Amino acid sequence: MKKPYIILIGAGGHAKSCIDVIVSEGKYNIYGLVGKKSEVGRSVCGYKVIGTDEILNEIIKKVPYALIGIGQINSKKRVAIYHELLAIGFKLPNIVANDAYISKHSSLGQGNIFMHDVIINADVRIGNNCIFNTRALVEHDSTIDDNCHISTGTILNGNVTVHKDSFIGSGVNLMEGITIGKNSIIGMGLSVRHNQKDNTKFTG
């Protein structure tokens, strides 16, 4: 059976990692990438940047699936693209690397990507449009709301809550049971032992 096509939105460094994960999962054929005008015609990991977002209304006629291949610290751009893609009619699947582990007892929204060696354990609840970057670990009973980026090598211990639009930097360790408020940034390499309010910038 022929694999369905997927279009990747974004043509930078994060898109390269997304391409690798899509290929490793093996469920979709990459139709091409959508990027900036200055990027059109370039090749990214062997796939062409075929146009800007102006072509999306035409692409949907032959490509049913899309993935946002833009990284984030501030979530606003990814959120805007996410809603634009839904309005056009694209389906936003979850993309899971072949070496990631997601417990069958967890629950997932849509449009998330789980990169290499990610572990999502039992009874974890995940919203929409999130990035779980390489070797992130999310332990049991945790909740990750919409539009969050859980960066490389992070550890979220049991019963942690990360509210929407938040960025958890590389190598962060979140103590069990704590809550990170919405629209927050936790700087790389930090150990966080207390709840953080909305709009926190915790950089140590």
Place of tokens 């919203």: 127
- Of the candidates 116, 117, 122, 130, the one whose C-alpha atom is nearest the C-alpha of residue 164 is 130
Considering the chain, what percentage of its residues have pLDDT values greater than 70?
100
For residue 1, pLDDT beyond 80: no
- 9-24 pLDDT, tens digit per residue, is 999 999 999 999 999 9
- 151-199 pLDDT, tens digit per residue, is 999 999 999 999 999 999 999 999 999 999 999 999 999 999 999 999 9
For residue 100, pLDDT beyond 90: yes
Residue range 30-55: mean pLDDT, rounded: 96
CATH T-level assignment (fold) for domain 5-93: Rossmann fold (3.40.50)
- 56-65 pLDDT, tens digit per residue, is 999 999 999 9
- Cα separation, 38 vs 59, in Å, equals 20
Residue 95: CB partners within 8 Å, gap ≥ 6? 18, 21, 22, 25, 28, 67, 112, 113, 114
**pLDDT, position 46:** 95
**pLDDT, position 136:** 98
Q: Where are the domains of the chain?
A: 5-93, 99-204
Backbone φ and ψ of 53, nearest 5°: -65, -10
For residue 110, pLDDT beyond 80: yes
| pLDDT band at 73; cut points 50, 70, 90 | confident
Q: Architecture of domain 99-204 in CATH?
A: 3 Solenoid (2.160)
Write down the mean pLDDT value for the chain. 97
| pLDDT band at 204; cut points 50, 70, 90 | confident
- Cα separation, 48 vs 44, in Å, equals 6
Place of tokens 């974004």: 10
